[in-house]
Structure 1
Amino acid sequence: MKSIKKIVLPVTLSASVLTLGACGNADNSGDTLVETKAGNVTSQDVLDKMGNNEVAQNAFQIVLNKVLKDKYDDKVDTKKLDKQVDKQIEQYGGKKKFEEALQQEKPGATLEDFKDSQKTAKYQEEFINDAVKVSDKEIEKNSKKGSHILIKVKSKDSKDGLSDDKAKEKAENILKQIKENPDEFNKIAKKETQDEGTKSKDGSLGYVLKGQMDEAFEKALFKLKPGETSDVVKSQYGYHIIKADKGEPSKKEKESLKEQYRQMKIQKNPKIIINAYKKLLDEYKVDYKDKDIKKSIEDNILNEEALQQQQMQAAQQQSAQ
């Protein structure tokens, strides 16, 4: 069964590997890269073989990395990040094995490239945190800790489910057990739930954010007071018995919820992050000297539809995995 929680994807405006691209109205022949008897190969020769969109995206990514580093370098503990990478290297069994793994994932990548990517990701995180504020009050209002028991209904995604009538009947019988023994919800969940993602956790979903769940499930969960259990609730997955769990999120859990909620805000309204990037570029007086690059960036990167398309493609890839 697909995850009951909806996918929340990190938002970035450009995630391509840095490659050479074409500049539509460059006015020089470029540096010589290769010399041969038959003639030299210049950087412009290579650029001319590529497309304007590629060079625009790569130019934008390089500029963005420089700007983010300048703005957030003093807020990011880069030494700590390097130590985290060193720990990963140790876990892999040494530098050689780690670099081999890097090469398998991305041919040509070096250890320094990897360390730089960790720092860039952190700069990006700092920027998004500044651009999209999420308060403790918002998290308190829009999150709830919950557990559930799921009895699946047979469908194309759930071949091992029951017929609708049988699933509902079974869920109602389980609810009777819970009403007779309310303190044994977790024990009954571990035995009866058909949600493999939460079975080993006694049915616990942890903290749920509004907008993450099936609408009927979410509506029922957020109506409950801590400790209360719902009646049988029908969702796209089957029949649920839902419990609102007691407790407050830890500092780490709250930060994770804020990050998820921030990404949900951006996915719902991409203009938030696009406008924040535009403001940042204005602050650093970014001036596009090439009209083709400028148009490509405006059309394909700093564009709401383009960002939504990236999100859709990322979601499809995530679902397929």
Structure 2
Amino acid sequence: MKNKSFKLAAVTLLGVLTLAGCSSSKEVASMKGAKITEEDLYKELKKDKNTSGQVLTGMILNEITDKEYGSKVDQKEVDKQYNEMQEQNGGKKAFEDLLKQNGLDVKTYKESMKTQLAYKEMLKAHVKITDEDLKQTWATYHPSVDTQMIVLGSEEEANAALKEINDGKSFDEVAKAKSTQEATKKDGGKVTFDSTYTTKPERVAIPDTVKEAAYKLEDGKTSEVIKATDMTTGADSFYIVKMVKNQKKGNDYKKFEKELKTITEEAKLADPMFQQEVIGKELEKANVKISDPDFKDILTPYLPKKEETKDTKEQDKKSDKKADKKDDKKETTESSK
């Protein structure tokens, strides 16, 4: 833990020194007969090219996103996300203590959140969605359905629960008494979901096998026991699903165009190749110049490769011909001597 903390502190200081122009003789530490300046520290940190290069690249991108897209970020959204993080981490005091442990405070953390939201705005500015994109999303899309479900850890328990339901016990009652899914059991197992990760209540994980089985149910019908395996842990869970309201997909994707656009946009925003393409365009637009020769190539992986145009090729040919003529003239002159 100490090593990680030191690295974080070092990276932060490197950023400060880089912005300062890397020529500060301000003293960082001193001892008998010697001292360490900011410039000394900067030179030492530069020796780890991977880390320092990543930090500088991140700083450049942060400057671009904040300057060009920061105004598009609503402070209310920053506060909302901060409050959600605070709630997820034990409340106000617990979260502020956690920030302190990582060398942060509320202000700096909110600033970093704003930068992240500005980065997303930058990506969104480059998203273009075509009909072909929507059709591809439509191929795997299923609209939202309202269900109730019971989740159990063994097939025997699931079969026993299903028998109770088939014998006339209400699904609500069995779900509240036996389901292991804490987020839904108190409400009789009610959960709404579609073919994306969006659920109500939020963050309820539903395996694809369970979703596919649910989509086939008519309103009011209950499934057989559905086995689902967690691919990360290898553990099996057993589901019973009752369909409350099944919204059929149909054949016309236009009916769900709004939802499809949202899903398609989110997929593009999460695509690393798309992100790299956008970063390259923004770096070119910002006309970034790297003054320090040690970092001259750090942006190369992001920048689009220049394709040779017809004009460029013709210019190269002319240059080659001129060079050949110059060489011929030189050889003629030398032979006449």
TM-based fold match above 0.5:
yes
1:1-321 mapped onto 2 (5 Å cutoff): 19-21=12-14, 30-34=23-27, 38-50=33-45, 51-78=48-75, 80=76, 101=97, 104-107=100-103, 109-131=104-126, 141-145=141-145, 146-153=147-154, 164=155, 166-167=156-157, 169-177=159-167, 180=168, 184-210=170-196, 213-225=206-218, 227-236=220-229, 237-246=236-245, 269-290=271-292, 292-293=294-295, 295=297
Aligned-partner Cα distance in 1 for 2:95–2:237: 46
What's the Cα RMSD here? 4.6
- Provide the TM-score with structure 2 as the length reference: 0.57
**Gap change, CA 1:168 and 1:271, over 3 Å in 2:** same
Determine the C-alpha separation between the residues in 1 that align with 2:187 and 2:299: 46
CA shift at 1:61, angstroms? Answer: 1.9
Name the aligned partner's letter for residue 198 of structure 1.
T
Secondary structure of the equivalent of 1:286? coil
Hey, what's the Cα distance between the residues in 2 that align with 1:85 and 1:168? 38
Distance 2:126 2:172 in 1: 40
Residue 134 of structure 2 contacts residue 264 of structure 2 at CA under 8 Å; is this kept in 1? no
Q: Any idea what SS the aligned residue of 2:225 has?
A: strand
Closer/same/farther in 2, CA of residues 141 and 120 from structure 1, 3 Å limit = same
Native 8 Å contact 2:217 2:246 kept in 1: no
Q: Which is further off, 203-212 or 275-284? A: 203-212
For residues 98-140 of structure 1, give each alpha carbon's deviation from its aligned partner in whole angstroms, at most 9, with x where no partner exists.
9963663332x34542342232132133234445578999699
Amino acid at match of 1:278: G
Cα gap change, 1:244 to 1:112, in 2 (>3 Å): same
Secondary structure, aligned partner of 1:224: coil
**Hey, what does 2:329 align to over in structure 1?**
none
The equivalent of 2:312 in structure 1 is: none
Shift of 1:83: 7.0
* Letter matched to residue 241 of structure 1: I
**Structure 2: 5+ residue runs without aligned partners?**
1-7, 16-20, 88-92, 198-204, 230-235, 248-257, 304-337
Do the aligned residues in 1 keep the contact of 2:222 with 2:241 (CA within 8 Å)?
yes
Output the CA distance in 1 between the equivalents of 2:126 and 2:216. Answer: 32
* Cα contact 2:153–2:238 (8 A) shared by 1: yes
Structure 2 distance, partners of 1:87, 1:241, is 35
Give the number of equivalent residue pairs: 251
Per the alignment, in what secondary structure is the counterpart of residue 32 of structure 1?
coil
Task: Pick 1 or 2: higher relative contact order, CA cutoff 8 A, min separation 6.
Answer: 1
Q: Is the 8 A contact 1:209 1:257 kept in 2?
A: no
Name the structure 1 match of 2:18: none
State the identity as a percent: 22
